[in-house]
Amino acid sequence: MSPNAEARMDSAARGDEIRIGLGLSSMGYVLAGLGGCVAILARDLDEPTSRLALLSSGFAAGLLFVALVGPRLLRSWSMTSVLSLGAVICAMGTVLLAVAPVYAVAIAGGLCIGLGGALLVLVTPLMLDGPTAAARLSRVNAVASATGILAPLAIGALDSLGPTGRLAMLAAAPPLLVLAVMTRRSKPVAPRAPVLIDSAPAAAVGRSHSRPRVGRQVATAVGLGWLRIVLSVAVEFCFVVWAVARLVAAGLPTATAALLGSAFPIGMAVGRVIGPIHWRGWSPVVPSGVFAVVGTLLVSLFDVPAVVAIGLVVAGIGVAPLYPVTLAALVATPGLSPARLAAIGAMASGVAILVAPAALALLARAVDLRTAYLITLPLLAALFALSRRPRTSSVEGLGRDDVHVRRDSPCAVDGLAPHVD
């Protein structure tokens, strides 16, 4: 390949990384601000806090929809067109959420955020694939996690000054619109097979041109991988959606609670930097999950705002690696194409986000939010039980040339992915 061709490829790769980084950073800001918006909308619209659980359901519905239609959409649309559409829809959702005068408009905003965000998630692993995918996706996700810290701080500060704090969500709209303009002006990118989806750990999965037969072992492995993702995302979004409401229930004013709501995103950012915790022969899900258990107990058993905030930080550190590890393991499962496995992972996330925050809200109606937070403990216990380190095994219908997992990939050592030579 000529030096000029290599330079053009490097330039295109950097452009893709900038665009994806801009999109994921905006999404990180919006999702981190969702909990603050739940508490403030409940106050502004005089609605029960539990009724605002439908905001997270909107994001879940978007993930489920895109998991079903995304691969088909990419057959007729370029990835850049899908990215641009997702950015515009997500920007529209943030505006609706920020200025919603009634409950229905707020829910519509949540639905647009979910649909647009899911489209961004769909094309992210496709646009950042290649031999350096792990490093590139690590960078953009680290920036997105750091940006998420700003949302609760901005929401709390603005709310304390007089205007409703959810107006701070408007800050995400301009970058998304800039992304849409940048993307429309760029050259379309040809569809490519995904290496991973959404989070930093990478699975480098070899692909065969033949369609492998899906045997019982493959179906079992995929089913267990799907369930692990459901459990990890369920725990995460219980904190994302209800952290600020928990601080309000501990006696803080809404504006102060929104400020301290940055505790969980801060913990998540630290956890992403640290990465999966490895201890002896355990799957990294277990030591990370122990941090999440300790954080949950601090949040649930004490009604002192400072202790609750510390619990949110500790929980964030533990929760941060759970989804990347379980998703990477699923995408590395031999026997199905990475594209199908990524769609299965998106569907698992959608199911978890749809069910878990709503279940916590329903439980809070029967007891209180403080006690309802204990729902995360059985979820973590089930995740521990499903995260035993498997024996090396072959997969029915596959040979050495059909699929491999790179030995230097996190998936090869995370204690979850099947080990296939």
Model confidence pLDDT, tens digit, residues 195-219:
333 332 333 333 333 444 457 888 8
Inter-residue contact 89 to 115 (CB < 8 Å): yes
**Amino acid, res. 43:** R
- Bridge partners of 205, per DSSP, are 405
**pLDDT tens digits for range 124-174:** 766 776 555 555 666 777 778 788 888 888 998 898 887 888 999 999 999
The span from the CA of 120 to the CA of 416, in Å, is 27
**Cβ(94)–Cβ(204) under 8 Å?**
no
Checking if the pLDDT of 319 tops 50, the result is: yes
Q: What is the pLDDT of residue 398?
A: 37
Please give the pLDDT value at position 402.
37
- Token readout for 124 is 């992210």
Which tokens is 321 given? 């690696």
Average pLDDT for the chain: 77
User: Higher-confidence residue: 247 or 203?
Assistant: 247
9-18, 54-63, 219-228, 370-379, range with the lowest pLDDT: 9-18
Q: What is the pLDDT of residue 305?
A: 92
- Per-residue pLDDT at 122 exceeds 90: no
Average pLDDT value for residue range 35-42:
85
Q: Tell me what pLDDT residue 357 has.
A: 86
Q: Residue 110 above 80 pLDDT?
A: yes
Tell me what pLDDT residue 132 has: 57
Distances (CA, A) of 65 to 119, 169, 222, 255: 10, 24, 20, 34
Residue type present at position 101: P
Count other C-beta atoms under 10 Å from residue 43's C-beta. Answer: 14
Q: Which residues pair with 405 in a beta bridge?
A: 205
pLDDT at 388: 67
pLDDT given at position 382:
93
Give the dihedral of Cα atoms 278, 235, 144, 109; nearest 10 deg.
Answer: 170
- Name which residue leads in pLDDT, 70 or 247: 247
Query: Residue 325 — very low, low, confident or very high, per pLDDT cuts 50/70/90?
Result: confident
Whether the predicted pLDDT of 102 surpasses 80: yes
Q: What share of the chain is helix, strand, coil (3-state, %, to 5)?
A: 75, 0, 25
50-54, 144-148, 403-407 — which one is most confidently predicted on average? 144-148
CA distance 54 to 110: 8
pTM of this prediction exceeds 0.75: no
pLDDT at 410 over 90: no
Name the percent of the chain lying above pLDDT 90: 22
**pLDDT grade for 57, boundaries at 50, 70 and 90:** confident
pLDDT at 195: 35
Cβ-based neighbour number of residue 407 at 10 Å: 11
Give the model's pLDDT for residue 56: 75
